[in-house]
Amino acid sequence: MNNKQKKDKLMLENLDHIVAGEKLNEKSELDKETKATLELTREMTSWPKSPSKEFKAELKAKLTHQVAEQKKRDALKSGGSEFQEILNRPAWQLTIAAIIALIIVAIIIVIIYIVQH
Amino acid sequence: MVNTSKNTDDIQISGDKRHAFAVLYEQFMPKIYRYISFRIRDDNMAQDLTSIVFEKALTKFNSFNSEKAAFSTWIFTITRNTVIDHYRIYKKNEYLMPDAATKASAQNPSPENEAIKAENTARLRIFLSRLNKREQEAIVLKYSNGMSNREIAEVLKLTESNVGSILCRTIRKLRSSFVEWQNE
């Protein structure tokens, strides 16, 4: 490991202290310039903000609502297709055909009865 | 304000995945917000963009494959692209916009230290904005969430040692710009 690599390694180790909000180790082998360089960037750790509780809850509610709406739509869609599926079964088709035939025969019988009387 | 309303027609997540998403939301939402607020100084805009990121993530969650990438890599990629799109639309550099605290300090220079601090912060933002995209990304990921170099490498699709080199070089570059400015 050459001198530059050693310096970089030391810098990166100490960078993690900076981003964790910790003080730099006084006994560290860091040279003055690198210490000053790292300390300069400490300021940047205060730039990001944390979300407010209200916003966090609001966004969660919004996403939950979107999922619930989709779930409803999915339930409606799958409900309709289940009914379609039942109607497509041969046994059901035969039953329905038989019922329709019975109704037609009944209507004919009623018409004949009415005509004769 | 950005319109965050979105068509939810294609949100199809199973019960298990819904639970997983809820858990990941709790874990990652503050991190995503911190990343965005580092880059976007306007609080309302940062909230809008965070909403957009999670709506996109929710919509695409079915296609997320944890065997291919970690969730953090996946969601930070969505976040980076969302912020890039934002810059593209507004064509401005948000790093240059002083935040409310900086503005207040600059307007009230009575305690000298506050004024100096505000000036230094503004300068640091200017120097940050002059870095190339990759250097900016590495810095933002490091300073907004204290990510490890490995995590940053996954998000930026670089090697860990490459990230280390970029961070060292960039921090030195910031320092040298700063010293140059002070000596002017």
Question: How many CA atoms, within 13 angstroms, populate the side-chain half-sphere of residue B87?
Answer: 17
At A79 the pLDDT is: 64
Q: How far is CA B25 from the centre of its chain?
A: 17
Nearest to A67 among B11, B34, B164 (CB): B11
What is the arithmetic mean of pLDDT over B95-120? 61
CB contact under 8 A, A59 and B54: yes
Q: Are B95 and B39 in contact (CB under 8 A)?
A: yes
At B120 the pLDDT is: 85
Q: Are residues A61 and A111 in the same domain?
A: yes
At B98 the pLDDT is: 45
Q: What is the CATH number of the domain that holds B27?
A: 1.10.1740.10
Nearest to A40 among B143, B144, B175 (CB): B175
Instruction: Show the DSSP H helices in chain B as ranges.
Output: 15-39, 43-60, 71-90, 100-107, 112-129, 133-145, 149-156, 160-183
How much helix, strand and coil, in percent to the nearest 5, is found in chain A?
80, 0, 20
> So what's the ipTM on this one?
0.73
Other CB atoms within 10 A of residue A24 CB:
16
At A70 the pLDDT is: 79
Q: Are B143 and B38 in contact (CB under 8 A)?
A: yes
Q: Are residues A24 and A75 in the same domain?
A: no
pLDDT at A113 over 60: yes
CB contact under 8 A, A59 and B178: no
What is the arithmetic mean of pLDDT over B77-97? 78
Q: Are B33 and A49 in contact (CB under 8 A)?
A: yes
Q: Are B155 and B73 in contact (CB under 8 A)?
A: yes
Residue B110 lies in a domain: no
At A106 the pLDDT is: 94
Tokens at B66, concatenated: 């944890």
Give, rounded to a whole angstrom, the gap between the first and last alpha carbons of chain A: 116
Q: How far is CA B182 from the centre of its chain?
A: 28
Residue A71 confidence class, pLDDT cut points 50, 70, 90: confident
Percent of chain B with pLDDT over 70: 80
Nearest to A11 among B99, B145, B168 (CB): B168
**Range of the structural domain that residue A75 is part of:** 55-116
Domain boundary among B61, B92, B123: B92
At B2 the pLDDT is: 39
Residue B158 lies in a domain: yes
CA distance A107 to A101: 10
Q: Are A9 and B142 in contact (CB under 8 A)?
A: no
The count of domains in chain A is 2
Residue B104 lies in a domain: no
**Range of the structural domain that residue B146 is part of:** 131-184
What is the arithmetic mean of pLDDT over A80-86? 64
Q: Are residues A39 and A61 in the same domain?
A: no
Q: Are residues B73 and B18 in the same domain?
A: yes
Question: How many CA atoms, within 13 angstroms, populate the side-chain half-sphere of residue B116?
Answer: 4
Q: Are residues A64 and A36 in the same domain?
A: no
Percent of chain B with pLDDT over 90: 52
At A48 the pLDDT is: 87
At B40 the pLDDT is: 87
Q: Are residues A42 and A60 in the same domain?
A: no
Q: What is the CATH number of the domain that holds B161?
A: 1.10.10.10
Residue B38 lies in a domain: yes
Residue B73 lies in a domain: yes
Higher-confidence position of B159 and B64: B159
Higher-confidence position of B97 and A47: A47
Residue A115 CB partners (closer than 8 Å, separation 6+): none
Q: Are residues A35 and A59 in the same domain?
A: no
Q: Are residues A26 and A62 in the same domain?
A: no
User: Which of A41, A55, A56, A58 to probe by mutation at the B interface, max B CB count within 10 Å?
Assistant: A41
CA distance B41 to A59: 20
Q: Are residues A109 and A63 in the same domain?
A: yes
Residue B137 lies in a domain: yes
Q: Are residues A60 and A33 in the same domain?
A: no
Name residue, tokens 């609080």: B43
The count of domains in chain B is 2
DSSP A26: T
At A117 the pLDDT is: 79
How confident is the prediction for chain B on average, in pLDDT? Answer: 83
Summarised one tens digit per residue, pLDDT across range A4-37 is: 888 899 999 999 999 999 988 777 788 888 999 9
Q: Are residues B86 and B137 in the same domain?
A: no
pLDDT at A107 over 80: yes
Q: Are residues A38 and A67 in the same domain?
A: no
Summarised one tens digit per residue, pLDDT across range B126-177 is: 999 899 999 999 999 999 999 999 999 999 999 999 999 999 999 999 999 9
Residue A56 confidence class, pLDDT cut points 50, 70, 90: very high
Domain boundary among B38, B64, B92: B92
Q: Are residues A23 and A60 in the same domain?
A: no
pTM: 0.74
